[in-house]
Structure 1
Amino acid sequence: MRDKDPQVPLTVVLGTGRCGSTMLSDLVNQHPGALSLSEFFACLDPGAFPDGTLDGTAFWKLLGTPRLKPNVLMRHGVKVPEYRYPIGTGRYAAGEVPAISLMTLPPLTDDPDGMHDRIRAEVTGWPPAPVSHQYLRLFSWWASSCGRDVVVERSGASLRFLPTLLTHFPEARFVHMYRDGPDSAVSMSRHPLFRLGVLIGDMRAELGVDPYRSPDPRHSELLPERLRPFAPGSLDAATLTGTDIPLVRFGDMWSRATGALRHFAGLPPERLLHLSYDAVVADPVPRLTTFGRFVGLAEPEEWAARIAGQVDRKRAGAAARLSAGQMERLRLACAPGDRRLAELLGETAEAPRPQG
């Protein structure tokens, strides 16, 4: 980034997935001084952080090229709540939606196609730079053009990006949003992307590759019959919704995601905030005020008080209705993640996690 390029403070919200960060992003979007970028890095995955330098044309290609998995899901009728592009009224059909148009642009504007065109017109003329510099340049231009002075990015299940983000953005602040493991796992079990994620793991074990990253029309034929309805070429939305996946698979998924927590070690308090979803739900105003101060929102108390009533309290305790046996098995699956989380948080945990 050139010295004369303006820089807007960047905060990245990270979590395991199904930890309340989508709600938080929507609340941040209601602050007039914040540019809330929902799922920005997720929508550019894979390939969000290429090596070397990119000129403006190459950077736009990274931002605009449709990614395979979300477009396959949309073509096959899989309903993903985070896919907010207006299919039917927007310019692009299902299967052709540009990366940043899928999830990031629609919450920001009623005209995602128009914003898409403005970003393209701006960035294609930029000189070569490493991708992290291009991102910071984009965030600063974008915030300035919208009259915002703070940028908050958050992506679902984004802890997987943490080592890369720490390398590329050495001055960024990070918010670690966390939730009770079994509650997160139950929520994952109801979400199509996490259900597909479990099944992609099974397909990878059979094929040696992720079929959504290394597509091959022969994959459906090579898979056992039980997995064929989940391959890109033969995806069946009803089967994805209806197939039985043991809850412990999602507990394992949640625990594996917490493995990235070790990368927070050494970050100073001014760059890292731990935010409990359960604590936000229980008492929104003080927790959201703390978050607002941390990321640099103007008048965080006023913002928190204004939007606190939008915090959905019905989602807390998602695992409470499990049988004793189900809860015991799920707790065992989540135990490694619980230990990692307790070690990281120490005495800073904001709320006790519910017991089954």
Structure 2
Amino acid sequence: MNAAGPDPEANSWPGLSLEKWDGKQFWDLLAKKVPINIEPYIQKGVRLKEFLYEISDTSRFNLKTGVPAILAMTLPHITENPDELYEELESVVPQFPEDRLDRQYQRLFEWLLRRYQKDVCVERSGVSVHFVDRLIDMFPDAKFIFLYRDVRETAMAFNRFQAFKLGTALKKAKETTGEDPTDPNSDISRLGEFKWLHPDYFDMEQFNNYEMSYEALGENLSSSLVSAEKNISKLPAEQVLYLRYESLTKAPHDQLRRIIQFIQPESATAQENEKWVEQSASMIRSKPATWPELPSEKRKKLEKASEPALKLLEYI
């Protein structure tokens, strides 16, 4: 990637390149708001548990205004007063000098470390599996924890993941009919089989029964994992920790100690680390595999589609 000029693929993942941005451009990315008309779905029972920003009558943002990207999940993980932290960052980040994006992120991380008197930043998001190569380009000295799971079970989880299911169904409806199902003024007659997604006709039972293709999920998830592992494997061994999800749920204390030792091998706060291990382990629950319960034909298609990752990660 050429730091001197624009990245030709930057539009695929805005903000993940070595382009030069000033502080205002960087903040515009972090504070981007996309109003979505999903309140009717939430009122009828759709749960968006990953969305942590608490919307109320007095909250600064809501679903109609749109919630800034950094407020939706990131800041609520850091503080119980995310609006207050957002306002602090709103005054700080736009003042960053023009610089490469990797250094802008580093400025943000360092500011947060000072603000909360911490000494390490850990970023976690499942979607990052799609741009591991970008992250390695931007942060070549960073440590990477490659947490992976049986693809077959991940596909099952995605078909239970309501936020993803709703987003996928709405996108498919719009692509198929040309109508936006979330728009109360959309032409219902054109929605056809997707009529149930219109706010006035939304039905939770039909939503729960809506099923994404297990074959497509298996192919996409498997391809992403294989690609991510290919990139991760190029890094020096000391920069990578391979972590199997099933091992984490089976022996959480042991695996969590591996994680903390990997992140801070010479930490002087062993007692605090062990406290973190105990607290974190108490939140982990082992879950039995559900993919074997699929009807035979669906199970076979899922297994075949998932085969590349299953072999690579030694599940078969």
For the superposition of Structure 1 and Structure 2, which TM-score range results when normalised by the shorter chain? 0.7 to 0.9
Deviation at 1:206, TM superposition (A): 5.3
Pair 1:156-2:126 in alignment: yes
Q: Is the 8 A contact 1:60 1:120 kept in 2?
A: yes
Pair 1:287-2:238 in alignment: no
Aligned counterpart for 2:16 among listed residues 32, 49, 56: 49
Structure-to-structure mapping, 1:317-328, within 5 angstroms: 317-328=289-300
Deviations 1:6-32 (A, max 9, x none): xxxxxxxxxxxxxxxxxxxxxxxxxxx
Distance 1:275 1:113, change over 3 A: same
CA–CA distance in structure 1, aligned partners of residues 260 and 14 of structure 2: 31
Deviation at 1:252, TM superposition (A): 2.6
Q: Which residue of 2 aligns with 1:85?
A: 53
Deviation at 1:293, TM superposition (A): 0.8
Query: In percent, how many aligned pairs have the same letter?
Result: 26
CA–CA distance in structure 2, aligned partners of residues 282 and 326 of structure 1: 27
CA–CA distance in structure 2, aligned partners of residues 102 and 273 of structure 1: 28
Q: Which residue of 1 aligns with 2:8?
A: none
Pair 1:272-2:240 in alignment: yes
Distance 1:57 1:179, change over 3 A: same
Q: Which residue of 1 aligns with 2:147?
A: 177
Letter of the structure 2 residue corresponding to residue 307 of structure 1: S
CA–CA distance in structure 2, aligned partners of residues 104 and 220 of structure 1: 37
Distance 1:332 1:316, change over 3 A: same
Deviations 1:273-299 (A, max 9, x none): 111110011111111100111111642
CA–CA distance in structure 2, aligned partners of residues 237 and 341 of structure 1: 39
Distance 1:234 1:116, change over 3 A: farther
Q: CA RMSD in A?
A: 3.5
Letter of the structure 2 residue corresponding to residue 329 of structure 1: K
Q: Which residue of 2 aligns with 1:18?
A: none
Q: Which residue of 2 aligns with 1:309?
A: 282
Q: Is the 8 A contact 1:220 1:228 kept in 2?
A: no
- For the pair shown, the structure with the greater C-alpha radius of gyration is 2
Structure ranking higher on relative contact order (CA contacts 8 Å, 6+ apart): 1
TM-score (normalised: structure 1): 0.70
Q: Which residue of 2 aligns with 1:140?
A: 110
Q: Is the 8 A contact 1:159 1:257 kept in 2?
A: yes
Deviation at 1:259, TM superposition (A): 3.7
CA–CA distance in structure 1, aligned partners of residues 186 and 232 of structure 2: 38
CA–CA distance in structure 2, aligned partners of residues 75 and 61 of structure 1: 28
SS in 1 for 2:294: coil
Deviation at 1:176, TM superposition (A): 0.6
Letter of the structure 2 residue corresponding to residue 278 of structure 1: E
Distance 1:235 1:84, change over 3 A: farther
Q: Is the 8 A contact 2:47 2:163 kept in 1?
A: no
SS in 2 for 1:151: coil
CA–CA distance in structure 1, aligned partners of residues 203 and 19 of structure 2: 39
SS in 2 for 1:177: strand
Letter of the structure 1 residue corresponding to residue 134 of structure 2: T
Q: Which residue of 1 aligns with 2:31?
A: 64
Aligned counterpart for 2:311 among listed residues 332, 339, 343: 339
Q: Is the 8 A contact 1:143 1:149 kept in 2?
A: yes
CA–CA distance in structure 2, aligned partners of residues 138 and 56 of structure 1: 10
Deviations 1:138-185 (A, max 9, x none): 011101110111100011232012111111111111111011111111
State the number of aligned residues.
292
Letter of the structure 1 residue corresponding to residue 104 of structure 2: Q
Q: Which residue of 2 aligns with 1:115?
A: 85
SS in 2 for 1:310: coil
SS in 1 for 2:211: coil
CA–CA distance in structure 2, aligned partners of residues 252 and 183 of structure 1: 13
Deviation larger for 46-55 or 115-124 = 46-55
Q: Which residue of 1 aligns with 2:72?
A: 102
Gaps of 5+ in 1: 1-44, 343-352
CA–CA distance in structure 1, aligned partners of residues 174 and 223 of structure 2: 16
Deviations 1:33-76 (A, max 9, x none): xxxxxxxxxxxx952326632222222111111146xx444565
Q: Is the 8 A contact 1:207 1:219 kept in 2?
A: no
Letter of the structure 2 residue corresponding to residue 294 of structure 1: F
Letter of the structure 1 residue corresponding to residue 235 of structure 2: L
SS in 1 for 2:276: helix
Pair 1:168-2:141 in alignment: no
Q: Is the 8 A contact 2:22 2:97 kept in 1?
A: yes
